[in-house]
A and B are shown apart, each in its own frame.
Chain A
Amino acid sequence: MTEIRKPLLHVENLKQHFRISRKQVTKAVDGISFDIYEGETYGLVGESGSGKSTTGRAIIRLYDPTDGKIIFDGHDISGRLNKEDAAYLRTNMAMIFQDPMACLNPRKKVKQIIAEGLEIHHLCKDQAEIDEKVNNILDKVGLSREQATRFPHQFSGGQRQRVGIARALVMNPKLVIADECISALDVSIQAQVVNLMKDLQDELGTTYLFIAHDLSMVKYISDRIGVMHLGHIVETGTTDEIFENPIHPYTKSLLSAIPHPNPIVEKKRIAMTYNKDEMGVDYTAGHEHVLSETHKVLATDEEFARWTSES
């Protein structure tokens, strides 16, 4: 591990609560901390309702975080944004959404969709420069230039997701938040999109926050993984640490739920269950236990001793 790596994104004790009614508050994200280093891919996994998408949206400021600190490349982007920080955030962080049909304006041509960010932020001198940038990015994501004059409905699912990726990358952002960006695609297309994202990362050095519920895909793309459950990161570590030596029972149950394409083995296997209340796990009582520099588990002392002795 390199020591001089500096975090591109530093999230500390981030909380995102939603007030449902006068008495009821949903704590979607309840105090999570993590760092993302430059040029790496951080995978955030968990079941639906675990707050992983909320985290992504709070970081890019689609929500106003309730509490906590988000420092992005030296700029504090939590709390009220001043003009410079807002401009910095909007041009250097981008998002790829889950459903490519829902996130592309059906009445705009692909070229306009991709160029929109460049135009709004006045990043180009003239139309020719915009065209050049759009054409470059289209080449990179594997779409032809003729396709730029088409509308989103004229593309297949995989191609639409490529448009979504092109739109996110055209500003040359430092951090891209990919929120379940492959879940809506077919298996054979998923692999294409994941490979494309990896190639682009090698070429442009972009950092990804990759949000997904499919652990096997996350393994392919991520350098480090954070496992979320009910608004807490219960375990974080490098991909190898999480897969080779999972400590938290929730991580173990997630790993055991991955289906293997091996009929004889798969038929006999019974997935592990994890029930927080039955096991008496209280996330708010636990604190972070450090196994190694990168591998951390959220647990109370007693739980930690039990889980480590089990494995």
Chain B
Amino acid sequence: MAKFKRDKNERVLSIRDLNISFKTNFGVVRAIRGVRLDLFQGETVAIVGESGSGKSVTVKTMMGILDSNGSIDSGSILYRCIDKDGNTREFDLAKMSQKDIRYQLCGKHIAMVFQDPMTSLDPTMQIGKQIMEPMIEHGYADKKEAAEKALELLKEVGITEPEKTFKQYPHELSGGMRQRVVIAIALACDPDILICDEPTTALDVTIQAKILEKIKEIQVKKNISVIYITHDLGVVAKVADYVAVMYAGRIVEKGNINEVFYDPRHPYTWGLLSSMPDIDTDSDRLFAIPGSPPNLMEEVVGDAFAPRNPYALKIDYREEPPMFDVGGQHRVASWLCDPHAPKVEMPAELKVRIEKMKKEAGIND
């Protein structure tokens, strides 16, 4: 079923044991605690989690825009690309200075689409100019070529009258159109990796679907890799090939999309999937994960999810679970997957729901 074999040679980005902390007035916040993740050529990885789970911090580090009080304590982010002469080059983003990342990689190799299109566009600059800017700054094209390419990009992202939009200002466009312009800017220098940080949360549902379909279309056409950051599992289901679920700075479950959605193993993933409102069921109560995410200012002992976890074992309060290999590309950080652990089934309601989903999708096992 998996579309991507995840061949080692096609790895564009590999994050290894990344630890990031922030110094604040109240103490040190350990925002990222040992993240390990790979991204392959042409693949879409979605990072899912609540706010404060560290998903945005991870990608901000790649872009060299980590806040000034943050520091990378250990780990590496290897980025591999093929330069103009056909040589393979490798960069360790965790060791490079922010300045170097921004001069050498940002825009050209790694580009980002932010959540709110109004705040990521310059209100005093014409749309066309804003798209031309990165191309000219990076020495990618001269002014005339850049203008031509900008028009082409506007057409590509689905704007019906590119010539008119070229001369307009951001405030003259609707939210969906603005986000399309931001995507056009991100694609201006043909990046290898496109990072989308909650690209559709500020948009309406009807437009959301359109934008996601557009990003997908462009991705297939240009064969770029995309990282999605989102908390919406519906969006993940639509776009992702590979999913990483983050909680309190750690990846608690990862695997290809079908593994995680049709056979979730971590209690947190169970909770997330069951708290999604399902329009087909008649039950009138939503499942809610009790409590709220932990404060990372304090040292986390054991599994950070244990206090909110009805299935928590004693060991969850003492020792942090390692990543268990549960077959395929599926990895789960939960003691429940340990061979010695008691057998715990997912909640019955969720099981019914997943069975129904499988039937709709036409898989039987």
12 additional contacts, CB 8 Å, given A257-B206, A260-B234, A263-B257?
A47-B206, A186-B50, A188-B272, A191-B286, A213-B204, A220-B277, A256-B209, A261-B261, A263-B237, A263-B240, A263-B261, A271-B209
Q: How far is the CA of A264 from the CA of B240 in the complex (A)?
A: 11
Q: Whose C-beta in chain B lies nearest to the C-beta of A194?
A: B286
Residue from B275, B277, B285, B360 in contact with A188 in the complex, judged by beta carbons closer than 8 Å:
B275
A198 contacts the other chain (CB 8 A): yes
Q: With a 10 A CB-CB cut-off, give which of A191, A198, A254, A261 has the most chain B CB atoms.
A: A261
Q: How far is the CA of A205 from the CA of B276 in the complex (A)?
A: 26
A195 contacts the other chain (CB 8 A): yes
Q: Which of A175-190 contact B (CB under 8 A)?
A: 186-190
The answer on a CB contact under 8 Å between A261 and B273 is yes
A258 contacts the other chain (CB 8 A): yes
Against B, the Cβ 8 Å flags (1 = close, 0 = not) of A249-271 are 00001111111111111110111
Residue from B210, B289, B293, B362 in contact with A264 in the complex, judged by beta carbons closer than 8 Å:
B362
The answer on a CB contact under 8 Å between A156 and B237 is no
The answer on a CB contact under 8 Å between B238 and A267 is yes
Which residues of chain B have C-beta atoms less than 8 A from A261's C-beta?
233-234, 236-237, 261, 273, 276, 357
The answer on a CB contact under 8 Å between A216 and B279 is yes
B363 contacts the other chain (CB 8 A): yes
Q: Whose C-beta in chain B lies nearest to the C-beta of A185?
A: B51
The answer on a CB contact under 8 Å between B175 and A48 is yes
How many A-B residue contacts, CB cutoff 8 Å?
Answer: 129
Q: Which residues from chain B sit less than 8 Å from chain A, CB to CB?
A: 50-51, 175, 204-210, 213, 231-238, 240, 257-258, 261-262, 271-273, 275-279, 284-290, 292-293, 357, 360-363
The answer on a CB contact under 8 Å between A264 and B363 is yes
Provided the pairs A156-B292, A253-B206 are in contact, do residues A258 and B279 lie with their beta carbons within 8 angstroms?
A: yes
Which residues of chain B have C-beta atoms less than 8 A from A220's C-beta?
277, 284, 286
A158 contacts the other chain (CB 8 A): yes
The answer on a CB contact under 8 Å between B237 and A262 is yes
Q: With a 10 A CB-CB cut-off, give which of B206, B272, B289 has the most chain A CB atoms.
A: B206
The answer on a CB contact under 8 Å between B292 and A189 is yes
17 A-B contact pairs sorted by A residue (CB < 8 Å): A156-B292, A187-B232, A191-B286, A192-B289, A213-B205, A214-B277, A219-B279, A220-B286, A259-B233, A260-B279, A261-B234, A262-B261, A262-B357, A263-B261, A267-B238, A270-B209, A270-B213
Q: How far is the CA of A217 from the CA of B293 in the complex (A)?
A: 22
The answer on a CB contact under 8 Å between B279 and A243 is yes
Main secondary structure on A side of the interface with B: helix
A159 contacts the other chain (CB 8 A): yes
A215 contacts the other chain (CB 8 A): yes
9 smallest beta-carbon distances between A and B, as pairs: A259-B234, A271-B209, A264-B361, A191-B288, A216-B277, A47-B204, A191-B286, A191-B275, A188-B289
Q: Whose C-beta in chain A lies nearest to the C-beta of B49?
A: A186
Q: Whose C-beta in chain B lies nearest to the C-beta of A156?
A: B292
The answer on a CB contact under 8 Å between A186 and B205 is no
The answer on a CB contact under 8 Å between B205 and A215 is yes
B259 shortest CB reach to chain A, Å = 10
B233 shortest CB reach to chain A, Å = 5
The answer on a CB contact under 8 Å between A265 and B50 is no
The answer on a CB contact under 8 Å between B285 and A187 is no
The answer on a CB contact under 8 Å between A195 and B288 is yes
A18 contacts the other chain (CB 8 A): no
Q: How far is the CA of A188 from the CA of B247 in the complex (A)?
A: 12
Q: How far is the CA of A189 from the CA of B363 in the complex (A)?
A: 32
The answer on a CB contact under 8 Å between A259 and B237 is yes
Q: With a 10 A CB-CB cut-off, give which of A156, A159, A257, A264 has the most chain B CB atoms.
A: A264
Which residues of chain B have C-beta atoms less than 8 A from A254's C-beta?
205-206
A274 contacts the other chain (CB 8 A): yes
The answer on a CB contact under 8 Å between B204 and A48 is yes
Q: Whose C-beta in chain B lies nearest to the C-beta of A50?
A: B204
Q: How far is the CA of A217 from the CA of B276 in the complex (A)?
A: 9
Which residues of chain A have C-beta atoms less than 8 A from B360's C-beta?
262, 265
Q: How far is the CA of A217 from the CA of B205 in the complex (A)?
A: 13
B354 shortest CB reach to chain A, Å = 9
Which residues of chain B have C-beta atoms less than 8 A from A256's C-beta?
209
B136 shortest CB reach to chain A, Å = 34
Residue from B258, B284, B293 in contact with A198 in the complex, judged by beta carbons closer than 8 Å:
B284
Which residues of chain B have C-beta atoms less than 8 A from A258's C-beta?
205, 234, 279
Which residues of chain B have C-beta atoms less than 8 A from A265's C-beta?
357, 360-361
Which residues of chain B have C-beta atoms less than 8 A from A188's C-beta?
50, 271-272, 275, 288-289
A93 shortest CB reach to chain B, Å = 25
Q: How far is the CA of A189 from the CA of B271 in the complex (A)?
A: 11
Q: Which of A223-279 contact B (CB under 8 A)?
A: 243, 253-267, 269-271, 273-274
Q: Whose C-beta in chain B lies nearest to the C-beta of A196?
A: B288
Q: How far is the CA of A124 from the CA of B258 in the complex (A)?
A: 58
Q: Whose C-beta in chain B lies nearest to the C-beta of A256?
A: B209
Which residues of chain B have C-beta atoms less than 8 A from A264's C-beta?
258, 361-363
Q: Whose C-beta in chain B lies nearest to the C-beta of A253?
A: B206
Q: How far is the CA of A192 from the CA of B262 in the complex (A)?
A: 24
Which residues of chain B have C-beta atoms less than 8 A from A213's C-beta?
204-205
Which residues of chain A have C-beta atoms less than 8 A from B231's C-beta?
186-187
Which residues of chain A have C-beta atoms less than 8 A from B279's C-beta?
215-216, 219, 243, 255, 258, 260
